[in-house]
Amino acid sequence: MDRCGQYQLLRELGRGATAIVFEADHVALGKRVAVKVLHPSLAGNARCEARFAHEARLVAALRHPHIAEVYDTGLTEGGLQYLVLEFAERGNLAALIAERRPLAVALALELLIPVASGLAHAHERGVVHRDIKPANILLALDRAGTLVPKICDFGIGKSGSPSDSHLTTQGAILGTLAYMPPEQLRDSSTVGPAADQYALGAILYEAVTGQLPYEREVTIEWMNAILAGGVAAPSRVRPELPVGFDEVLLRALHVNPEARHGSVKEFAAQLLQFASGRTWTTWASEFGVARDGEMRTADDEARTHGALSSLLARPSDVRPSDVRRMRGVGVRWAMLGGALGVGCAVGWAAREQAGPTGNASRALIGPALMQRSAQAREELASVRVGPDTTEPEASAAPTVEPEQPTGASSESRAGVRVERQASLNKAVLGLDVAPTKSRRIAESRSASVADAGARERLNVAPPAGSESPQVSFGNNRAPVLE
């Protein structure tokens, strides 16, 4: 057989139990397609022929970029049914996994997140595939040369329509054992969307570990292992897998369908935290992942809080490891910024404490720090250095000492003030700052202020040509607390 209607068959692409797939060209248009022909051994089999027609109707109703499109249907000259499908230039996912296993998590998700989108589209329209496996995920190319996965072979798909109920006998086992969930082993006629979620999880498990979830030499032992559950964590096979990946994947492979993710969409949304930046940017909105990295669904907020928060605004070429590294840098910058903020607040409060707005600074600094400050001041006030500097009583006659513009008396008083300030800083803030140029400037200014105050009390005019001293807080110089 070298032709099916208007399609010239070029080569065989693969064959299964019910059909053979060929690469072909449309004779008139020259369009490259895939032609799926019913296996000759099944000619005249009413059930198989009905499934062929059923697949064509199902796929025709599912218009999605990641579901292989059906272009045409017909009969060969020998009376065999055939379907004309979208052609995939890069074969299927089974060949890719066999060639490159295990795949990087980012690559596996770049191929399987779109498949989840296609499955979610089918589930929303009441269709369950029931045979999701790597061989049924075609790899086409878009205009940019990027791989585009497409779901194919809805031959045993379940639509829920009463007219299709006769296609699956109650208690029958349909599907591929390696990717089949336990409930499908018991009765394929009753499975729902959770069965496709399980199969998608099994594909992801195989892609990232290079092993099937349950693989045994004897078929009956394999079936019993699937029914019993308890698949090994993927990180036991590949310890370098990201933290949290086990939990998300193993939930999809849970033996109980009710314990799996609520839908394929929820499964994909959880997987996005491990995807590349390009995959996350492309699919975040479709799967309900907000830009702040949290699920929009309130039911999943607790489970996803923090898991997706590292994904605030990832560029398209950023990988999850880069995001974790950037998150660590961000935390360190936040800690540094917080420390600087506290330091500035304390310094401002210390400045305010010296002026008339000291009460406002107490409200900002906090009771504990103000208590420590008050205690330190009381201790420093009890220390008397040099001559008594208390104000004389009104009845006592003031004693005028000789003017000492550069004498040791004013310098010693300034030194005492600076030492008191240093002691206060150490007691309150835990600082032990060595004398600096700013500190020496503060000493000279403090001495000038003290001399001016003494002259004012004694009504002694300042020396000719001098100006009234002022205390400046500019240029980051710390004030001297009296």
Among 318, 352, 371, the domain boundary falls at 318
β-strand pairing of 32-38 with 19-26? antiparallel
User: Long-range contacts: 290-298, Cβ < 8 Å, 24+?
Assistant: 295/269, 297/266
Q: Report the sign of the C-alpha dihedral through residues 41, 47, 49, 52, in that order.
A: negative
User: Does 70 share its domain with 104?
Assistant: no
Q: The tokens of 49 are what?
A: 């022929």
- Residue 415's beta-bridge partner residues? none
Among 297, 318, 339, the domain boundary falls at 318
Residue 131 bears catalytic tag: yes
Among 41, 65, 85, the domain boundary falls at 85
**Which domain, by its residues, includes 432?**
410-482
Is 23 inside a domain boundary? yes
Is 249 inside a domain boundary? yes
* Residue 233 φ then ψ, to 5°: -60, 135
User: Does 204 share its domain with 267?
Assistant: yes
Which strand ranges, in their side-by-side order, compose the sheet holding 81-85? 3-4, 7-15, 19-26, 32-38, 81-85, 70-75
Is 362 inside a domain boundary? no
H or E stretch covering 166: none
The residues near 276 (Cβ < 8 Å, ≥ 6 apart) are 106, 109, 110, 318, 319, 320
User: Does 122 share its domain with 238?
Assistant: yes
Q: The tokens of 254 are what?
A: 């849970």
Is 391 inside a domain boundary? no
Is 344 inside a domain boundary? no
Say what the pLDDT of residue 17 is. Answer: 80
Q: How far is Cα 442 from Cα 444, in angstroms, rounded to an integer? A: 6
User: Does 64 share its domain with 99?
Assistant: no
Is 141 inside a domain boundary? yes
Say what the pLDDT of residue 49 is. Answer: 86
Say what the pLDDT of residue 391 is. Answer: 41
Q: How many domains does the chain have?
A: 3
User: Does 256 share its domain with 119?
Assistant: yes
Three-point CA angle 28, 30, 36, nearest 5°: 95
User: Does 76 share its domain with 189?
Assistant: no
Say what the pLDDT of residue 364 is. Answer: 41
User: Does 71 share its domain with 114?
Assistant: no
H or E stretch covering 299: none
User: Does 15 share its domain with 128?
Assistant: no
* Helix and strand counts by DSSP (H, E) for the chain: 16, 8
Among residues 134, 148, 149, the alpha carbon closest in space to that of 212 is found at 134
User: Does 50 share its domain with 170?
Assistant: no
Question: pTM of this prediction?
Answer: 0.61
Domain CATH number, residue 185: 1.10.510.10
User: Does 133 share its domain with 169?
Assistant: yes
Q: The tokens of 288 are what?
A: 């309900």
Is 428 inside a domain boundary? yes
The DSSP result for 433-457, as a single string, is PPP-HHHHHHHHHHHHHHHHHHHHH
CA gyration radius, the chain: 40
Cβ(62)–Cβ(105) under 8 Å? no
Is 354 inside a domain boundary? no
Domain CATH number, residue 79: 3.30.200.20
Q: How far is Cα 189 from Cα 171, in angstroms, rounded to an integer? A: 7
User: Does 30 share its domain with 145?
Assistant: no
- Residue of 131, 153, 196, 300 with catalytic role: 131
Q: The tokens of 422 are what?
A: 């240093």
Say what the pLDDT of residue 188 is. Answer: 87
How would you write the pLDDT of the chain (482 residues) with one tens digit per residue? 788 989 999 999 988 888 999 999 999 999 999 999 999 988 888 888 888 888 888 899 899 999 999 999 999 988 899 999 999 999 999 999 999 999 999 999 999 999 999 999 999 999 999 999 999 999 999 988 889 999 999 988 888 665 555 555 555 678 899 999 999 999 888 899 999 999 999 999 999 999 999 988 889 999 999 999 999 999 999 999 999 999 999 999 999 999 999 999 999 999 999 999 999 999 999 998 865 444 433 333 333 333 333 333 333 333 444 444 444 545 555 566 666 665 655 565 555 554 544 444 344 444 444 554 455 455 445 544 444 444 444 444 444 444 444 444 545 555 555 566 556 555 544 545 444 444 555 555 555 545 555 445 444 455 454 444 443 444 443 433 33
Among residues 330, 325, 272, 326, the alpha carbon closest in space to that of 300 is found at 272
User: Long-range contacts: 172-180, Cβ < 8 Å, 24+?
Assistant: 174/130, 174/131, 175/130, 175/131, 175/199, 176/131, 176/133, 177/219, 177/222, 177/223, 177/226, 178/133, 178/202, 178/206, 178/212, 178/215, 179/132, 179/133, 179/203, 180/226
User: Does 186 share its domain with 288?
Assistant: yes
